[in-house]
């Protein structure tokens, strides 16, 4: 009798064991999606604190996508009548000039993207101005432009994408040095539920040729139950460490930072332990938005954190959380501000963090030492 | 691109004669009553225009890129000419819309 029961148990066990691998095989692992190691970050010991920024009114209408370069604020302002960029001196608060004239003629610029970072060459501050429709980037000498009072472009570089990337344009550019740029190729839709993968190209700024690729993801996400369009699911806002050694991506749909080593091309993800993974994106119906904006100095990464469902309509809600990380992926501080944050940038030289707000035209600022050194309110994590 | 001065009903009708299988209701947020009216009008007018997809621009969005953005006046009953080129801006991840090619 016991032998009979034992045989039945043995057969049942075998049947269960045969079933188990099949059910395991249906679950996607993040390692199938992400091309690197994923490190979980526990934020339970990180206290939250409220910090009040100082306010600055610039002497002139200021609007648009903000970039900070030492004591300069550069706005890519599509509302300007004749130019694309507006530069302010943050010490005097005066407008230093409008640059890059709009138009299709010689010395003019068709629609451009914001300026993403800067580099120094022979004591001059320079950046890249990318015109997607002309597949062209221009080396803009900001220092000479400010002293001359007109736009000084040193040379143009081919930046093909229409055929070369099969219609996937670049949506972020980071210059490591005068010879090398890291261009992020955006994700574009394949069909209603699927999109191509975003990735980086390392490009030679002398020849305009591609040197190599950096792949952050192995495969894409297909989710047929969400209203979120597929090309935004693996999207991020990125920034390069001012010394050029790393690029960090603040992912929008997962509370995760991807830190890319620009030399080795290795990628490591640091994910807040909020129970959200990349594989969850395949089944979640309403996908929240997490990191909203990012900027960085050589010491820290500053991100604007949202953590809620995307809003409907054109008016954004109040967004006033700043999460600060170090370059090892450690969460240092969680800060709330009294003002809602739209754009953010940091002066790496003088260590001052700036933000704009979509509710007014003020520029808000605080020294980063003060931001991080302010006493915590001692409130529990969300 | 020629701007076409179409009546609201014809414009809405054109959306549904131009695309058969595309889930327009999902992208345009239209309700059943409006859809029924549109189909009836389309059958009566027989007019169609060629359209393409554009992105709804949204200030303050975390999603920013170079896209073809819909005219800011686009709403449930009016669409406008497609932009001739891409421009950089924040876009709505929840919605795309149509523009006249």
Nearest to A290, CA basis, from A272, A313, A308, A273:
A308
Identify the bridge partners of residue A170 per DSSP, sorted by sequence position. A185
pLDDT score, position A3? 62
Contacts of B61 in chain A (CB under 8 A): 316
Facing residue for A228 by CB, picked from B66, B85, B94: B94
Residues in chain A with pLDDT values less than 50: 15-26, 379-382
Q: Assess contact for A263 and A176: CB atoms under 8 A.
A: no
Give, in order, the Cα–Cα distances in Å from A341 to each of A354, A362, A365, B77, B100: 10, 11, 11, 33, 35
B65·A316 Cβ contact <8 A:
no
Q: Assess contact for A268 and A258: CB atoms under 8 A.
A: yes
Strand A331-337 vs strand A48-51: parallel, antiparallel, or unpaired? Answer: parallel
Cα atoms in the Cβ-side hemisphere of radius 13 Å centred on A59? 9
Strand A83-89 vs strand A119-121: parallel, antiparallel, or unpaired? Answer: unpaired
d(CA A18, CA A8): 15
A186·B58 Cβ contact <8 A:
no
Residues 6+ apart with CB under 8 A from A166: A196
Question: In 3-state terms, what secondary structure has residue A42?
Answer: coil
Residues in chain B with pLDDT values less than 50: 1-37
How large is the ipTM?
0.82
Q: Which of A228, A256, A303, A310 to mutate to test the interface with B (most CBs of B within 10 A)?
A: A310
Identify the bridge partners of residue A97 per DSSP, sorted by sequence position. A87
Q: How far is B29 from chain A (nearest CA, A)?
A: 11
Give tens-digit pLDDT for A29-84. Answer: 999 999 999 999 999 999 899 999 999 999 998 889 999 999 999 999 988 999 99
Asked if B25 reaches chain A (Cβ–Cβ under 8 Å), the answer is no
d(CA B87, CA A65): 13
A192·B23 Cβ contact <8 A:
yes
d(CA A185, CA A166): 11
pLDDT score, position A194? 96
Tokens 């648009």 appear where? A64
- Chain A residue with the nearest C-alpha to that of B94: A228
pLDDT score, position A195? 97
Strand A37-41 vs strand A267-272: parallel, antiparallel, or unpaired? Answer: parallel
Residues 6+ apart with CB under 8 A from B90: B57, B58, B59, B60, B61, B62, B63, B64
Give the domain A31-373 fold. Answer: Neuraminidase (2.120.10)
Q: Which of B25, B29, B93, B97 to mutate to test the interface with A (most CBs of A within 10 A)?
A: B93
pLDDT score, position B49? 87
Domain spans of chain A, in order of start = 31-373
Q: How far is B12 from chain A (nearest CA, A)?
A: 21
Domain spans of chain B, in order of start = 8-100
pLDDT score, position A2? 65
Contacts of B93 in chain A (CB under 8 A): 228-229, 232, 289, 310
Q: CA A226 from chain center: how many Å?
A: 23
């Amino acid at each position: 009798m016991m032998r009979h029961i034992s045989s039945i148990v043995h057969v049942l066990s075998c049947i269960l064991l045969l079933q188990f691998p099949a059910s395991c095989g249906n679950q996607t692992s993040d390692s199938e999606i992400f091309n690197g190691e994923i490190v979980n970050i526990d934020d339970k010991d990180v206290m939250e604190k409220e910090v009040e920024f100082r306010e600055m009114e610039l002497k002139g209408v200021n609007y648009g996508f903000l970039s900070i370069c030492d004591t300069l604020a550069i706005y890519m302002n599509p509302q300007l009548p004749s130019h694309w960029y507006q530069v302010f001196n943050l010490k005097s608060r005066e407008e230093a000039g409008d640059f890059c004239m709009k138009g299709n003629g010689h010395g003019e610029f068709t629609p451009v993207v914001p300026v993403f970072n800067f580099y120094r060459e022979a004591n001059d501050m320079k950046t890249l101005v990318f015109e997607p429709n002309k597949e062209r980037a221009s080396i803009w000498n900001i220092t000479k432009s400010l002293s001359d009072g007109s736009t000084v472009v040193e040379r143009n570089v081919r930046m093909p994408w229409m055929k070369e990337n099969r219609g996937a344009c670049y949506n972020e550019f980071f210059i490591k040095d005068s010879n090398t740029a890291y261009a992020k190729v955006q994700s574009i839709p394949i069909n209603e539920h699927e999109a191509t993968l975003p990735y980086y190209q390392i490009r030679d700024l002398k020849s305009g040729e591609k040197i190599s690729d950096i792949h952050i993801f192995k495969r894409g996400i297909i989710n047929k139950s969400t209203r979120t369009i597929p090309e935004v699911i693996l999207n991020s806002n990125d920034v390069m460490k001012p010394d050029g050694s790393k690029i960090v991506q603040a992912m929008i749909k997962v509370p995760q930072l991807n830190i890319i080593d620009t030399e080795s091309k290795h990628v490591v993800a640091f994910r807040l332990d909020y129970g959200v993974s990349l594989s969850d994106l395949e089944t979640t119906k309403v996908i929240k938005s997490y990191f909203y904006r990012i900027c960085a100095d050589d010491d820290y990464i500053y991100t604007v954190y949202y953590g809620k469902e995307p809003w409907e309509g054109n008016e954004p809600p109040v967004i006033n959380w700043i999460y600060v990380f170090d370059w090892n992926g450690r969460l240092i501080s969680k800060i709330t501000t009294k003002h809602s944050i739209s754009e953010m940038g940091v002066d790496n030289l003088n260590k001052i963090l700036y933000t704009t707000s979509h509710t007014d035209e003020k520029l808000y600022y605080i020294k980063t030492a003060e931001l991080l050194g302010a006493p915590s309110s001692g409130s529990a994590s969300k | 691109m020629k701007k076409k001065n179409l009546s609201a009903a014809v414009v809405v009708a054109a959306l549904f004669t131009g695309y058969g299988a595309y889930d327009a209701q999902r992208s345009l947020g239209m309700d059943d009553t409006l859809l029924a009216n549109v189909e009836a009008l389309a059958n009566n007018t027989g007019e169609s225009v060629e359209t393409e997809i554009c992105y709804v621009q949204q200030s303050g969005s975390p999603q920013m890129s170079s896209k073809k953005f819909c005219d800011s006046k686009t709403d449930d009953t009016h669409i406008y000419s497609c932009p001739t080129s891409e421009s950089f801006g924040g876009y709505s991840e929840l919605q795309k819309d149509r523009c006249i090619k």
